[in-house]
Amino acid sequence: MIRVLGVNGSPRKYGNTYKLLRVALEFARREGAEVKLVNLYDYDIKPCSACLCDEQTACRYPCVIEDDMQELYDLVLKSDGIIIATPVYWFSPSGVVKSFIDRLTVFENMIYIDGYSWVEGKVAGVIAVGNDSGVIQVISTLYATLVSMGFAIPPWALAYFNKQGDVFEDISTVLDAANVGRAVVIMAKALKNISRWYENSAERLGINEVLKDIRNEIELNKRKQLKERKRLIDKALNIDSHKVAKERLGKDATFRNI
């Protein structure tokens, strides 16, 4: 069974953000997933305390902050995929979504404790809604953050709406949201049997051997190119810029000092 968690970052359970998330989850369900929707504004989510800035390994599951993130952590761990839907507040996700994302660092930081992120290989999709610009900026930021934590992003796992009015009147955007749900489930099924993506050991990867070969290649390229590059640089250094400008512009040479 594939489980998908829908995260609503809007205070309005009747707005366009919520509507698109419901569409995505419905089509995830039709793709065979068990789905659950949580409204972040119903939870007490305190800001991150940045424990790792004092001691790297202090940031770990479960977070020492006592609030409702404890329940949300377990829902994330039980899920194979997550769809985050957020309104756009000043070119950023809503504050509660930002706090939620920050607090997920306990999973990513398990790299320094277990050697891998606890959300590695889970699948993520993003929905952003705003009356003005900023939707793509929000999606890009969340994508980069989620990938950095170890989440996988499938094709078509984004939907956005940056107009006023009822999003259900925009069938193209509704279709995008439906495919967010489908894509998250399809990729979650495909990745089910993959155990690890990020190898945390340079020794196991054979990094030193690879770097040796690449350094040799780079040194060879350098020797081949330096002669020609020196010729170009010497040529550039011998150019009389003022003379050339006067010759080309003549009486129109209005640059200062020419």
Fold type of domain 3-190: Rossmann fold (3.40.50)
- pLDDT the model gives residue 65: 87
- pLDDT the model gives residue 160: 93
pLDDT > 70 fraction of the chain, expressed in percent and rounded: 97
The three-state (H, E, C) secondary structure of the chain, written as one string: CCEEEEEECCCCCCCHHHHHHHHHHHHHHHCCCEEEEEEHHHCCCCCCCCHHHCCHHHCCCCCCCCCCHHHHHHHHHHCCEEEEEEEEECCEECHHHHHHHHHCHHHHHHHHCCCCCCCCCCEEEEEEECCCCCHHHHHHHHHHHHHHHCCECCCCCEEEECCCCCHHHCHHHHHHHHHHHHHHHHHHHHCCCCCCCCCCCHHHHCHHHHHHHHHHHHHHHHHHHHHHHHHHHHHHHCCCHHHHHHHHHHHHCCCCCC
- pLDDT the model gives residue 85: 97
* pLDDT block averages, 10 residues each, the chain of length 258: 96 90 93 95 92 87 90 95 96 94 93 90 95 88 96 94 89 91 94 76 78 85 86 88 79 58
Per domain, the residue ranges of the chain are: 3-190, 202-252
The string of pLDDT tens digits covering residues 170-198 is 888 999 999 999 999 999 999 987 777 77
pTM of the model: 0.82
